[in-house]
Amino acid sequence: IDLYIPSDTTFNTADGPDRFNMIIRWNGINQGAKNQKWEWDSLEADKWHTLNMSGVLAEVDTEGNPLQTIIPILSFYDKTNDGEPGVAAYIDNFKLKVTTPDEDPNLAVTSILNYGELTQGQGPFTRKLEIINSGSTKDLNISSASFLGPNKEYFSFADDTFPLKVGPSESVNLDLTFDPGVSLGLFEASVTLASDDESNPEVVITLNGSVVAPFEGEELVINGDFESGDLTAWRDNARFNYTSEIVRTGEGAGEFNLLAGQQWGEARLAAPSPPAIADNPQAIEVTPEMIGKAYEYSAWYYRPSEGGMAPDDTIRMILRWNAVNQGAKTHAITKVGDIPVDTWFQVRAKGEIPELGGDGEPLTSMLPIWSFQDVGSNSVGGELMYIDDVSLKISAPAGPDPLRITGFEIDNDQDEIRVSWNAVLGALYAVDRSTALAGENLAEGFWEELDDSIVAEDEAPIFIDEGATSLGESRLFYRVRLIALPE
C-alpha cells in the first residue's frame, strides 16, 4: 500500500505512539492474525511511502479449522483518542497478492460455493465451479471428486467429469449440480478434489444452499415465461426480442441487446388492463387491498460466453412507485461478472408495497423496469443477455385446494390406467383401488392400497396402475389419500 501523511495530519502524536497497522485475519478470527505496525512519527510527512507486509498463508486458524477466508484490514490507531476532525492520511494502490509456485501444477479454486436461497421445485440447480491451474509449466491432473457431509447425496458432477487435465495457466468451468428434489431447508456438504498438486493434493470446497417453499401470491406479470411464442404483454422494440434459441423452460425466452455506445437500456411491460392501469400498459395497478402486502420478484438470466455483456456491466430490476423515478426501489443489482456463463442464473428479491408513491401521493401503480447497464458505454464483450421465467407476485395466501382426482387415462395397449390429482408440492400421498364402493366387504377394508409413498414432485402427479386393464373387472374405483404435508 502507498501511505501519505500530511504535515497537518489530524493525529496528535505527542502522547503517542500512534500507529498504522496492516492486518490479515485468518477465517475472520482476531487471535493469531498476521500484523505489521509502523509508528506514525517514523514516516516522513508530506511524502508517499510504499509499505509492504509479506508472509505465508496459514494452513489452519487458531481454532484448528482449515483456512478458507482471509480478511485484510488497514488500521489507523490513535492511542490517546484525541485526533481532530479532518484528514489524517491518504492511501492509494492497496494490493493483496498471493503467489503460487510455478514449477509444479497448482490447483486454485474457491473455498466456498453457495447456491443461495432457492425455490422448492425449480431445480435441479447448477453452478459453475472454476478450476485454475496457476502453475506455469506442468499440466494439472485432477483424478477424482468425493462428496462428504450430511447432504452429500444432493450434490454431483456429471459422470464423465473426472479424470480432468488442466493445462498450465489455463482454467475450466465445471457444472456442479444441486438437486434437492422437493425437500426444504438448509443443505450442506463438501467436495474434495484430489490432484497431483504436490503442495496441496486434496482441496476441500464447502457447499451449501437453502430451499424455501414457493411464494404464495398472485402473479402480476403476464407471459413472464414467454410461452405465447412472442412478446405478448411486453414492450416490443429493437432492443428486446423473442427467442426460441436459448430458453430455460418451455419454448421461448426474451433476448436483450444493448445499442452500441449507450450506457443504459431496458425492457418493460405492455400489459392489458388488468393487471396494468387503463392509461399506461407499462404500469401495474395497485389497489388499496395491496398496500402493505409483501411481494416477491424472481427472474432467470443467461449470460452467453460469446457476445454476452462484459463482467463490469450490471443488471437490475427497478420498481417506480406511481411511475415516478424519485424514491424508486431497485432490486437484484447484479454485476455481470458474478453471473456464470452459458447457464441460467436466478435472481430473487422481496419487498413490501408502500402506502405512498415517489410523488408523495397515495400509491395506485408500480412500473417495473428491467435495466441493463453497459459500464463505460464501450460494448466490451458484446451486449447480449437472455431472460426467462420472470415473476412478480403479491402475497395472497390461501390454503391448498381440496384434494381431488383430476383425470383418468385408460391405455389398453400398455395394460395400465393413469390417475392424476391436484397436489401440494412435496406432500406425501397414497393411492388405493377397489372394485366396489359398498357391499359385504366394507368392514373388511375392500380398498387395496397400491402405493403409500408417493411424494408430489409437481402439482399434478400421475400414478400408473400397471396391469389394471387386464384384471377383467367391469369397473374400478380409485382414491387418493393425503398422508402428510411437507414440513
Query: Are 424 and 456 contacting, i.e. CB atoms less than 8 angstroms apart?
Result: yes
Residues 6+ apart with CB under 8 A from 361: 322
Residues pairing with 60 in the sheet? 66
User: Residue 248 and residue 389: Cα distance in Å, rounded?
Assistant: 8
Model pLDDT, residue 419 = 96
Torsional sign, CA 239, 240, 244, 247: positive
Residue (of 139, 154, 43) closest to 91 by Cα position:
43
Tell me the CA distances in angstroms from 394 to 116, 117, 250, 291, 302, one per residue in order: 22, 19, 24, 10, 25
The helix (run of H) or strand (run of E) holding residue 294 is strand 294-302
Residue type, 248: R
Start-to-end CA distance of the chain, whole Å, equals: 53
Residues 6+ apart with CB under 8 A from 372: 256, 258, 264, 265, 266, 267, 309, 313, 314, 315, 383, 385
Helical H segments across 122-278, by residue range: none
Residue (of 200, 224, 150, 210) closest to 180 by Cα position:
210
List, by residue range, all CATH 2.60.120.260 domains of the chain: 218-395
DSSP class per residue in 354-414:
-SB-TTSSBP-EEEEEEEEE-GGG--TT--EEEEEEEEEEEE---PPPPP-EEEEEEETTT
DSSP code for 236: -
Q: What is the CA radius of gyration of the chain?
A: 30
| SS3 at position 471 | helix
Residue with cell 391405455: 411
Query: Are 25 and 62 contacting, i.e. CB atoms less than 8 angstroms apart?
Result: no
Q: What superfamily would CATH give domain 107-212?
A: Immunoglobulins (2.60.40.10)
Q: φ and ψ at 149, to 5 degrees?
A: 110, 170
Model pLDDT, residue 12 = 62
| SS3 at position 3 | strand
Average pLDDT for runs of 10 along the chain of length 487: 85 66 89 83 77 80 86 85 81 81 78 88 88 89 96 95 93 93 94 93 94 87 90 88 94 88 88 83 93 94 92 92 92 86 90 94 96 82 87 75 87 94 92 67 61 92 94 86 87
Residue (of 17, 33, 14, 13) closest to 25 by Cα position:
33
User: Residue 395 and residue 433: Cα distance in Å, rounded?
Assistant: 38
The CATH classification of domain 405-484, taken from the options 1.10.150, 2.50.20, 2.60.40, 1.20.1070: 2.60.40
Tell me the CA distances in angstroms from 137 to 59, 102, 108, 199, 265, one per residue in order: 25, 7, 15, 15, 44
Residue (of 204, 217, 307, 310) closest to 263 by Cα position:
310
The CATH classification of domain 218-395, taken from the options 2.60.120.260, 2.60.40.420, 3.90.1150.10, 1.10.1200.10: 2.60.120.260
Query: Are 21 and 37 contacting, i.e. CB atoms less than 8 angstroms apart?
Result: yes
Model pLDDT, residue 103 = 57
List, by residue range, all CATH 2.60.40.10 domains of the chain: 107-212
Model pLDDT, residue 14 = 53
Model pLDDT, residue 159 = 92
Model pLDDT, residue 98 = 78
DSSP code for 337: G
Query: Are 173 and 224 contacting, i.e. CB atoms less than 8 angstroms apart?
Result: no
The helix (run of H) or strand (run of E) holding residue 49 is strand 48-50
Q: Is the peptide bond before 124 cis (omega within 30 degrees of 0)?
A: yes
Residue type, 344: W
Model pLDDT, residue 382 = 65
| SS3 at position 336 | helix
